[in-house]
C-alpha cells in the first residue's frame, strides 16, 4: 500500500531487536504471497485470493497491515491489494472480480508481527499473456533488483530511483511518479519516500539498519494515473497495462538484506499461472 511515505519525521535506523520482528513479518508476507500466487488461476475471484492471504497471516499470529488502513477519511476494506491489468495499485478484492486467462494481476501484501511491518508485491501472468505483458513483468522485476542493489550504506535514495528509472525507460516503459516506495517499521509508512525516479533537492543518504519498501510501479504507456470513485483503485490514465514488484529490505554495508523473500528481486515462485481453477 502506497500512502503516507512522505512524512518529514526523522529517519531512524532499527535496533537488532526490532529487525528480528521485521524479519518475522517479512517471512509471513513471503509465505502469504507464495500461497496467493499458487491459488491464482482463471476463474478464481480476487476475494478468494484475499482470503488465502488472510488465512496465512492469521495462522502465523500476525496482523494484516492493510485491513482498516485509513487515508483521506476512508478505511481500506481488505487484507490485500489485488490489481488487474490497467490497475496500478490498491485494487480492492471483490467476489465478482474473477481472473481470466491473459490477465496480469498484481498482489500486494503487508503483515505486522509484534508491532513491526513488512510489505511486498508481485505481478503474475495468468495463463498465456501478450508479449508486451511478458516484457513489462520482466523489466519491472529486473528494475526492483537494480533498485535493491543501491540500497546499501553510503548510497542514496536518489540512486535507487535513478537505477529503476534508467532500466524502465530504456525498455520503452514509464515509472509512476504519483506513488512511491517508503520507509517501513513500527509504522506501515515511515520516512523516507523512495521514488522510482531520480529526484532533485536535498539528498537522503542511507545508513545501516534503515528499512525500506522498494517498489517499482511501471506502466506500459504514460506514467500518469487516475483514481477511481472508490477512493482507492489507481489506474493508468491511458488504459495501458501496469506491473508492480516490491520487497522490504534492510540497508547493510555492501549488500541489502531482503526480508520478504529470497535474495532475488521477485518474491513469487513463478510469474505465470494457468490451467483450471
Write the CATH number for 101: 3.90.230.10
What pLDDT shows up at residue 262?
Answer: 54
Q: Which one-letter DSSP state was computed for residue 53? A: H
Establish if 149 belongs to a structural domain: yes
pLDDT of residue 203: 87
Give me the residues paired with residue 211 across strands. 250
Tell whether 8 is covered by a domain.
no
Domain that holds residue 229: 16-264
184 preceded by cis ω (within 30°)?
no
What's the pLDDT at 270?
32
On whether residue 276 sits in a domain, the answer given is: no
User: Looking at the domain assignment, is residue 9 inside a domain?
Assistant: no
Distance from the Cα of residue 130 to its chain's centroid: 23
Q: Tell me, yes or no, whether 11 lies in a domain.
A: no
Is residue 231 helix, strand or coil?
coil
Task: Evaluate if pTM is beyond 0.85.
Answer: yes
Q: Grid coordinates in use for 75?
A: 478505511
Residue 97, pLDDT score:
98
Q: How many independent structural domains does the chain possess?
A: 1
In a domain? residue 239: yes
Looking at residue 272, what is its pLDDT? 34
Q: Per-residue pLDDT tens, the chain, 277 aa: give them.
A: 765 444 445 688 999 999 999 999 999 999 999 999 999 999 999 999 999 999 999 999 999 999 999 998 999 999 999 999 999 999 999 999 999 999 999 999 999 999 999 999 999 999 999 999 999 999 999 999 999 999 999 999 999 999 999 999 999 999 999 999 999 999 999 999 999 999 886 789 999 999 999 999 999 999 999 999 999 999 999 999 999 999 999 999 999 999 998 544 444 433 333 332 2
Asked, for residue 4, whether it belongs to a domain, the answer is: no
Say if 194 falls within a structural domain.
yes
What CA–CA distances, in Å, run from 36 to 49, 58, 129, 180, 182?
A: 6, 14, 19, 24, 24
256: left (phi over 0), alpha (psi -120 to 50) or beta: beta
Amino acid at each position: 500500500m502506497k500512502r503516507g511515505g512522505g512524512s518529514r519525521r526523522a529517519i531512524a535506523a532499527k535496533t537488532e531487536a526490532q529487525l528480528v520482528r521485521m524479519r518475522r513479518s517479512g517471512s509471513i508476507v513471503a509465505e502469504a504471497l507464495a500461497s496467493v500466487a499458487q491459488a491464482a488461476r482463471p476463474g478464481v475471484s480476487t476475494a478468494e485470493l484475499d482470503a488465502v492471504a488472510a488465512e496465512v497471516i492469521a495462522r502465523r499470529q500476525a496482523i494484516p497491515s492493510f485491513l482498516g488502513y485509513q487515508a483521506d477519511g476512508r478505511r481500506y476494506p481488505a487484507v490485500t491489494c489485488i490489481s488487474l491489468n490497467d490497475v496500478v495499485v490498491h485494487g480492492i478484492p471483490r467476489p465478482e472480480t474473477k481472473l481470466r486467462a491473459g490477465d496480469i494481476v498484481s498482489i500486494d501484501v503487508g503483515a505486522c508481527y509484534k508491532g513491526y511491518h513488512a510489505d511486498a508485491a508481485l505481478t503474475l501472468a495468468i495463463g498465456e499473456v501478450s508479449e508486451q505483458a511478458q516484457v513489462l513483468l520482466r523489466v519491472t522485476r529486473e528494475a526492483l533488483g537494480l533498485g535493491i542493489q543501491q540500497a546499501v550504506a553510503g548510497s542514496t535514495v536518489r540512486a535507487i530511483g535513478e537505477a529503476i528509472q534508467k532500466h524502465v525507460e530504456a525498455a520503452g516503459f514509464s515509472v509512476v511518479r504519483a506513488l512511491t516506495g517508503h520507509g517501513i517499521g513500527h509504522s506501515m509508512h515511515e520516512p523516507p519516500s523512495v521514488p522510482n525516479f531520480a529526484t532533485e533537492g536535498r539528498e537522503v543518504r542511507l545508513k545501516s539498519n534503515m528499512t525500506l519498501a522498494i517498489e517499482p510501479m511501471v506502466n506500459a504507456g504514460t506514467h500518469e494515473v487516475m483514481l477511481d470513485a472508490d477512493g482507492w483503485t489507481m489506474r493508468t490514465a491511458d488504459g495501458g497495462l501496469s506491473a508492480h514488484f516490491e520487497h522490504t529490505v534492510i540497508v547493510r554495508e555492501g549488500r541489502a538484506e531482503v526480508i520478504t523473500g529470497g535474495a532475488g528481486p521477485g518474491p513469487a515462485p513463478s510469474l505465470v499461472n494457468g490451467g483450471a481453477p
